[in-house]
């Protein structure tokens, strides 16, 4: 099988580049036609790879690409999930090359080259590994599992229509395990398998003062400024030890046992390199936890956007009428995103001074997720990684969220295996996103090994 990979390496890369040229941005309706094109493009490639049934399923939003290849009803079935939508590429001016004109460049971390484009790592490069791995297995006649593929186009905007799709298609989606490549490994010489994802609760707040913008000289000092009030309220959301002050926030948080924390901490990590990479003088966060713990096993609260008053050129002396912020919270087991949203809303209203009015609204959210490491799926992923990298992988907990994963368990009763090959430093959601060619090819090599071990261990 590895010969097939060697012989087709360049074509596999050329095809990925073609895929990355389609600006499949789900957040902006301006790209709706491109979303359709991306769905069509990848469905054609799934047919060419040898999938039997390939469908483009329309939803109330972006289409779901679904494909099946049932080899033998006695074989276990793997349901591959991923997303072909990407984050908006803004700010365009910070890209060294245009986001939808992929280029391959070498970097310090990727000496074999990396492809630079929006979606290269998250998640088009990673879903395309599956398409190519399937092609390889079909061509070599070594497909030891049945395969179902489900690529959605709304992961980056909350997967709302996918929830409807999976609830309506439980029979069709019957499988033994879900396989997802949409996460990271520690480093190219330190393979790892993620054992969990954080949940998410995303809120928006508006603080309203006077009924109109005012002259800050005439009224300033006598009328509450909502920008000042919002700043104070936000500042109070963390205490001096970096704990979130929202009442009840930690009530359901499961503290990891000392052994579990030690095991996660045993994975290699260099805090100096981490700071250097980000150009920060010091790390910051909840007291009593390490940097990695803060970014994976602990819940957080962060302002993701904040605006008020005059932000144009020069200065304008104005007392704004309103101030707004987008605030997200990353959650860990057993926090519940709806409950946390309620707690946040009640808390935020309670801390508002009587001089302003407060509105709180909600965006999407999702529950945290943990993969059981004693499961056949996890063991298969572990062995596949070990064989592909020639090194024992390290279990890690990821800090990001894929909200649909918890719903897969709730609705379909299926566990998910997080079999990602990106690096956290690949600039996901940022300008100059990229995906290492090493990672791309390693993924294509490791996926068939997962199938092999999953089939063996399922017997």
Q: What residues make contact with Mn ion under the rule CB under 5 A?
A: 122-123, 182
By CB under 6 A, residue 122 contacts ligand BES: yes
Q: How many other C-beta atoms lie within 10 A of the C-beta of residue 72?
A: 10
Q: How far is CA 420 from CA 147, 210, 244, 327, 381, in A?
A: 18, 50, 30, 27, 10
The dihedral sign for the CA sequence 385, 387, 388, 394: positive
Q: Which of 182, 345, 433, 445 binds ligand BES (CB under 6 A)?
A: 182
* Least distance from ligand BES to the Cβ atom of residue 221, Å: 40
By CB under 6 A, residue 398 contacts ligand BES: yes
Q: How many residues bind ligand BES (CB under 6 A)?
A: 16
- Residue 163 contact, options ligand BES, Mn ion, none, Cβ 5-8 Å cut-off depending on partner type: none
Q: How many other C-beta atoms lie within 10 A of the C-beta of residue 151?
A: 27
* Least distance from Mn ion to the Cβ atom of residue 270, Å: 25
By CB under 6 A, residue 406 contacts ligand BES: no
Nearer to ligand BES (CB atom), residue 219 or residue 438: 438
- Residue 403 contact, options ligand BES, Mn ion, none, Cβ 5-8 Å cut-off depending on partner type: ligand BES
Query: Cα–Cα distance between 450 and 381 in angstroms, integer?
Result: 6
Helix (H, G, I), strand (E, B) or coil at 73: coil
* Least distance from ligand BES to the Cβ atom of residue 328, Å: 8
Q: How far is CA 363 from CA 98, 163, 201, 269, 326, in A?
A: 30, 15, 8, 34, 9
Query: Cα–Cα distance between 88 and 193 in angstroms, integer?
Result: 28
**Region of 32-40, 177-185, 218-226, 333-341 interacting with ligand BES (CB under 6 A):** 177-185
By CB under 6 A, residue 26 contacts ligand BES: no
* Least distance from Mn ion to the Cβ atom of residue 459, Å: 32
* Least distance from ligand BES to the Cβ atom of residue 299, Å: 14
* Least distance from ligand BES to the Cβ atom of residue 123, Å: 6
Enumerate residues 422-451 that contact ligand BES by CB under 6 A.
Answer: 428
**Residue whose C-alpha is closest to residue 299's, from 367, 199, 395:** 199
Query: Cα–Cα distance between 335 and 252 in angstroms, integer?
Result: 5
* DSSP code per residue over 320-377: -SEEEEEEEEEE-TT--HHHHHHHHHHHHHHTS-TTSEEEEEEEEEE--EE--TTSHH
Q: At a CB cut-off of 8 Å and minimum separation 6, what does 235 contact?
A: none
Nearer to ligand BES (CB atom), residue 89 or residue 323: 89
By CB under 6 A, residue 400 contacts ligand BES: yes
Distance of CA 173 to the CA centre of its chain: 22
* Least distance from Mn ion to the Cβ atom of residue 439, Å: 14
Query: Cα–Cα distance between 259 and 297 in angstroms, integer?
Result: 14
Enumerate residues 353-382 that contact ligand BES by CB under 6 A.
Answer: 364
Q: Which of 403, 436, 443, 448 binds ligand BES (CB under 6 A)?
A: 403
Give residues in contact with ligand BES (CB under 6 A).
122-123, 155-156, 158, 182-184, 200, 364, 398, 400-403, 428
């Amino acid at each position: 099988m590895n010969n097939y990979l060697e012989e087709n390496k360049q074509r596999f890369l050329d095809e990925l580049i073609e895929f990355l040229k389609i600006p499949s941005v789900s957040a902006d309706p301006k790209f709706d036609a491109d979303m359709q094109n991306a769905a069509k493009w990848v469905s054609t490639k799934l047919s060419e790879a040898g999938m039997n049934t390939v469908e483009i399923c329309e939803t109330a939003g972006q289409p779901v690409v679904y494909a099946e290849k049932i080899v033998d009803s006695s074989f276990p079935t793997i349901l591959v999930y991923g997303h072909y939508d990407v984050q908006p590429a803004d700010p365009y001016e910070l890209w060294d090359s245009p986001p939808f004109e992929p280029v391959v460049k070498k970097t310090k971390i990727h000496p074999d080259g990396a492809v630079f484009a929006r979606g290269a790592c998250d998640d088009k490069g990673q879903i395309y590994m599956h398409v190519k791995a399937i092609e390889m297995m079909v061509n070599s006649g070594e497909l030891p599992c049945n395969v179902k593929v489900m690529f959605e186009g709304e992961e980056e905007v909350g997967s709302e229509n996918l929830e409807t799709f999976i609830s309506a298609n439980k029979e069709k989606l019957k499988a033994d395990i879900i396989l997802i490549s949409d996460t990271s490994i520690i480093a190219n010489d330190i393979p790892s398998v993620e054992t969990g994802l954080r949940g998410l609760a995303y809120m928006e707040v508006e603080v309203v003062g006077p009924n109109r913008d005012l002259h800050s000289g005439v009224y300033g000092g006598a009328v509450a400024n909502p920008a000042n009030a919002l700043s104070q309220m936000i500042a109070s959301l963390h205490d001096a030890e970096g704990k979130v002050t929202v009442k009840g926030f930690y009530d359901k948080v499961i503290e990891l046992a000392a052994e579990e924390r030690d095991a996660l901490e045993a994975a290699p990590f260099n805090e100096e390199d981490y700071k250097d990479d980000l150009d920060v003088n010091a790390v910051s966060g909840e007291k009593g936890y390490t940097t990695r713990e803060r970014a994976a096993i602990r819940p957080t609260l962060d302002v993701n956007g904040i605006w008020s008053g005059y932000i144009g050129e020069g200065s304008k002396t104005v007392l704004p009428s309103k101030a707004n912020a987008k605030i997200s919270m990353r959650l860990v087991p057993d926090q519940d995103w709806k409950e946390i949203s309620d707690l946040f809303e009640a808390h935020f209203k309670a801390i508002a001074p009587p001089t302003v009015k407060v509105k709180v609204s909600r965006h999407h959210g999702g529950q945290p997720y943990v993969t059981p490491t004693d499961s056949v799926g996890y063991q298969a992923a572990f062995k596949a990684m070990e064989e592909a990298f020639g090194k024992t992988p390290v279990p890690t907990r990821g800090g990001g969220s894929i909200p649909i994963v918890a719903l897969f368990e709730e609705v379909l009763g299926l566990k998910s295996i997080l079999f990602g090959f990106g690096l956290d430093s690949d600039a996901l959601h940022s300008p100059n996103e990229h995906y290492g060619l090493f990672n791309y090819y390693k993924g294509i090599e490791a996926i068939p090994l997962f199938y092999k071990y999953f089939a063996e261990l399922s017997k």
